[in-house]
A and B are shown apart, each in its own frame.
Chain A
Amino acid sequence: MALPTQTIQAIAVSPGIAIGRTTRIIDQSRHWEPQLHKITADEVDSELSRYVAALALTRTQLINLRKEVRDKLQAQDAEIFDAHIMIVDDHKLNAEVEKGIKTDHFSAEYALYITSEHVANVFSAMPDEYLRERSADIRDVTSRILSNLTNIQVPGQELDLDARRIIVAHSLSPSETAELDIEKVLGFAVETGSVTSHAAILARSMHLPAIVGIPPELPEQLTADDKIIIDGFGGKLVINPDARTEEAYRLKKAEVGQIRSRLESESELQPETTDGFIVQLAANLDSPDKIAEVKRCGASGIGLFRTEYLFMNRSTLPNEEEQFEVYKKILAECDNAPLIVRTLDVGGDKFNTNIYRANEQNPFLGFRGIRLCLHERRDILETQLRALLRAGVFGNLKIMLPMVSSIREVIEVRSIVGQLQHQLKSEGKEYVSDLSLGVMVETPAAALMADKLAPLVDFFSIGSNDLVQYTMAIDRGNERVAYLYRPSHPAILELIRVCVDAARKHNIWVSVCGQIAADVYMVPLLIGLGVHELSMTPSSVAVVRRVIRSMAMYEMEQAAQAALNCTNATDALAIAEVLINQRVPEVANI
């Protein structure tokens, strides 16, 4: 039976409109606990072989999933399955289950369930957050083995459908997300999660609308008869809309699609203001296989190449030769357009067990970025810099350092670069002798020291996500303080102004490479403050180009000045909204 027509307010995490039927993902392990079931002594052997067969099947499924995820998504998303395969193969777990079957005459389901619950509970109680999270992995694997033992369909099985559907779920685990056939997904409506959760990130990277914060009972209540609309702009979920509402959303969806494709057809046009100033629009690159997308969007270069992917999902570190080949290849693809490479930035939320896995109370304020690379892992930095110095002769390479908070760090890196250049020279190798070196400005300390940093570097790149987090003292992952995450806050604008002024004085340039560079309301403020370059995901370039082409530099400067004088983020944002609504209203809602 279909639900009555209703509109639910949730939280928008990825823009767009989706209209369609739903597919629900219901975590079955929440509903099903194997009951104590005894077998007879005669059945022990067949029970054991049933268990072994289920393990083998689980293993094959996980290996296939891992491969699929590597192909479809990012390589590091596949890492989780290495851990899951390890659990399937775990000697102690399986020995205990076998003991349960042989000695206690438990059914395979019950023996597995009580063993894994015991282990998962031990992990849940551990003080180390990383280890604590492994309890979820143990339960995820257990529920998969249980499904294989009982032939209950594993979550996601329902997805094997011809038509495209909207996914409705309590939460999406990595393994559930990985099983989705993205081609058949229209959008996501999830109960738990935030803008930074797995489902939200996936949705944005696939350009699919998504909302979080739907009522917990909804996934169970919806049926195949229900039609829903996801409004990824306003964060609304409409169940069984009336004809008028549906028509309105269809029009909106068509309009968004038209605007997007029209903007994308403008990729040849210069990002030039109406009074003739050209702004550099660059693209962010996560892995080399995305370079075609960068070229298509008409970016002027790569403003941020994150090198973390090189270090992910492997047991050894990439050596100099391997890195050299990667950098060289990307530089060749760039065809002399600038490529800004950020040196390895691990720590904070981007940890990597191969390099460093500390039990830190406060990882975002801990040993991350250049701090880690200059101290515990200088070897990694040196290898990376050597590879970069060598590759640099093949194109227009620039290097930037993450998480800089003091002058000393830049001086140390400069001195390492000097030593490496000397080494390379004595080895008779070709290298860049006039390296263009910049720093990320993502701590308030770096912004406030910009005047002292500027003489030491060739450019600044403002990493807005971290700069906002560190300036406002809010944890990006904490939903309770998410309302304070306001990039238009005058304190943030002031730090950017200080940075741009220092750069101007010392004749160097400033780029912004965080999420705000693609925020249509922030663009006029950033350009008005004097930022030279914006670097963003390739899919945002078209919209930002349109914003810049619709306004005069003096208007943006006026808006930026007025925003700096505001007393709060809302007023500052309102100034930008007025300008956007006057000059380019079509981008306000896409």
Chain B
Amino acid sequence: MILNNDTGAEEVMSTDAILERVITVGNTMGLHARPAAQLAKIALDFDASMSVEKIDGGEDSVADCRSVLSLLMLAAGKGSRLILRVSGRQAEAAFNAALEFFESNFGGEE
């Protein structure tokens, strides 16, 4: 077991499982520039593939979390419901980091 130096979460081997969770965007401004940049950073920090799909989002409703532009193009305002999907070698650690980020309303919007 190797400890991930950033989050303290244990690295879990998981190759094919897709972790999924439905998330509601809670903060007033929605998934705007700064949270998008932070989420992209989280996605790039792990060896995992991470996406969010906007429920009822129509065309172009899936965003690759590594791309800030793609996240912004979702135009996910307050109350939007998103499906977070993570897979890959560090899926669980990445999933936890992303969930923590969403649950803290994007890092407390500092």
Q: Do they bind each other?
A: yes
What residues of chain A have their CB less than 8 Å away from a CB belonging to chain B?
83, 86-87, 90-93, 95, 119, 122-123, 126-128, 130-131, 134, 138, 315-317, 353-354, 356-359, 376
| B69 near A87: Cβ-Cβ < 8 Å | yes
Of the residues B32, B40, B73, contact of A353 by C-beta under 8 Å? B32
Residue of A nearest to B69 (CB): A90
Q: Which residues of chain B are near A90, meaning CB under 8 Å?
A: 67-70
- Ranked 3 nearest A-B pairs via Cβ: A92-B67, A91-B66, A92-B70
Indicate if B22 sits at the interface (CB-CB under 8 A): no
**Interface contact B33-A357, CB-CB below 8 Å:** yes
Closest CB in chain B relative to A111 CB, distance in Å:
16
| A316, B38: Cα distance in complex, Å | 12
Q: Which residues of B contact A358 (CB under 8 A)?
A: 28-29
A122, B68: Cβ atoms under 8 Å? no
CB-CB under 8 A from B34, the residues of chain A are 315, 353-354, 357
B28 and A93: CB pair below 8 A? no
Q: B interface vs A, CB < 8 Å?
A: 28-30, 32-34, 37, 40, 44, 60, 63-64, 66-70, 72-73, 75, 77, 110
Q: How far is the CA of A510 from the CA of B68 in the complex (A)?
A: 48
CB within 8 Å for A131 and B28 given contacts A90-B67, A91-B66, A93-B67: no
Chain A hits for B29, CB < 8 A: 356-359
A83 to B110 alpha-carbon distance, docked (Å): 18
Which chain A residue shows the least CB distance to B65?
Answer: A91
* Contact A138–B32 (Cβ < 8 Å): no
Decide: A123 near B72, CB < 8 A? Known: A86-B37, A357-B32, A358-B28: yes
Nearest B residue to A127, CB-CB: B75
- The answer to whether residues A119 and B69 also contact, given A357-B32, A357-B33 and a CB cut-off of 8 A, is yes
B36 (CB) vs chain A CBs: closest residue? A86
The complex places the Cα of A526 from the Cα of B64 at a distance, in Å, of: 58
How near does chain A come to B108, taking the closest CB pair, in angstroms?
10
CB distance from A94 to the nearest CB of B (A): 9
Can you pick out 8 interface pairs between chain A and chain B where the beta carbons lie within 8 Å of each other?
A91-B70, A93-B67, A95-B67, A119-B69, A128-B77, A317-B110, A353-B33, A357-B32
CB contacts between A and B, total, < 8 Å: 62
Q: How far is the CA of A93 from the CA of B71 in the complex (A)?
A: 12
Give Cα distance in the complex from A134 to B69, angstroms.
10
User: Which of A138, A315, A317 is close to B69, meaning CB atoms less than 8 Å apart?
Assistant: A138
**In the bound complex, how far is the Cα of B73 from the Cα of A138, in angstroms?**
13
Complex CA distance for A92 and B63, rounded to whole angstroms: 9
Docked Cα-Cα span, A356 to B29, in Å, equals 8
Considering only CB atoms, which chain B residue lies closest to A138 in the complex?
B69
Residues on B with C-beta less than 8 A from A356 are 29
Q: What residues of A have a CB within 8 angstroms of the CB of B69 in the complex?
A: 87, 90, 92-93, 119, 138
Contacts of B72 in A (CB 8 A): 123, 131, 134
B28 and A119 contact, CB distance less than 8 A:
no
Which residue of A87, A130, A354, A357 is within 8 Å of B110 (Cβ)? A354
Q: Known contacts A138-B69, A316-B110, A358-B28; decide if A92 and B64 are in contact (CB<8 Å).
A: yes
**B34, B64, B69, B73 — which one has the most chain A CB atoms within 10 A of its CB?**
B69
* Contact pick for A122, options B28, B60, B110, CB 8 Å: B60
Given contacts A128-B75, A359-B77, 7 further A-B contacts (CB under 8 A): A95-B67, A122-B60, A123-B73, A128-B77, A130-B33, A354-B110, A357-B34
Docked pose: A472 CA to B33 CA in angstroms:
34
Q: Which residues of A contact B75 (CB under 8 A)?
A: 126-128, 131
In the complex, chain B residues whose CB is within 8 Å of the CB of A92: 63-64, 66-67, 69-70
Cβ–Cβ contact B64 & A91, under 8 A: yes
Residue of B nearest to A380 (CB): B110
Q: How far is the CA of A87 from the CA of B73 in the complex (A)?
A: 13
Closest CB in chain B relative to A377 CB, distance in Å: 9
- Give CA–CA (A294, B40) in the complex, Å: 43
Contact partners of A376 in chain B: CB under 8 A: 28
In angstroms, Cα B71 to Cα A22, docked, is 43
Q: Which residue of A lies closest to B64 (CB)?
A: A92
With A and B bound together, what is the CA distance between A83 and B40 in angstroms?
A: 13
Contact of A83 among B33, B64, B70 (CB under 8 A): B33
In the complex, chain A residues whose CB is within 8 Å of the CB of B70:
90-92
Instruction: Provide the residues of chain A in CB contact with B67, threshold 8 Å.
Output: 90-93, 95
Residue of chain A at shortest CB distance from B44: A91
Report the Cα distance A467→B11, complex, angstroms.
58
| Residues of chain A within 8 A of B110, CB atoms compared | 316-317, 354
Most buried by B among A91, A93, A128, A131: A91
Could you tell me the distance in whole angstroms from the C-beta of A323 to the nearest C-beta in chain B?
A: 15
Q: In the complex, A122 Cα to B60 Cα: how many Å?
A: 10
Residue numbers in B under 8 Å from A354 (CB-CB):
34, 110
Closest Cβ of chain A to B35, distance in Å, is 9
Identity of the chain B residue whose Cβ is nearest the Cβ of A316 in the assembled complex? B110
In chain A, what residue has the closest Cβ to B37?
Answer: A86
A354 to B107: give the CA distance in the assembly, Å.
11
- Closest Cβ of chain B to A137, distance in Å, is 10
CA distance A354 to B60 in the complex (A): 28
B73 touches A119 (CB 8 A): yes
A95 to B69, CA, bound (A): 12
In the bound complex, CA of A149 to CA of B67 (Å): 23
Q: For residue B108, which residue of chain A has the nearest CB? A: A379
Contacts of A128 in B (CB 8 A): 32, 75, 77
Question: In the bound complex, what is the Cα–Cα distance between A83 and B28 (angstroms)?
Answer: 22
B residues less than 8 Å from A126 (CB atoms) = 75
* A483 CB to nearest B CB, Å: 35
CB distance from A206 to the nearest CB of B (A): 30
A90, A130, A316, A317: residue with the most chain B Cβ atoms closer than 10 Å:
A90
Q: Using CB atoms, name the residue of chain B closest to A94.
A: B67
A317 contact set on B, CB distance < 8 A: 110
> Contact at B77–A86, with CB atoms within 8 Å?
no
In the complex, what residue of chain B is closest to A357 when comparing beta carbons? B29
With beta carbons under 8 angstroms apart, the residue of A95, A122, A130, A357 that contacts B73 is A122
Query: Nearest Cβ distance between residue B74 and chain A, in whole angstroms?
Result: 10
CB distance from B32 to the nearest CB of A (A): 6
A359-B73 contact given A86-B68, A91-B64, A91-B67, CB 8 Å threshold: no
Taken together as a complex, chains A and B put the C-alpha atoms of A87 and B69 apart, in Å, by 7
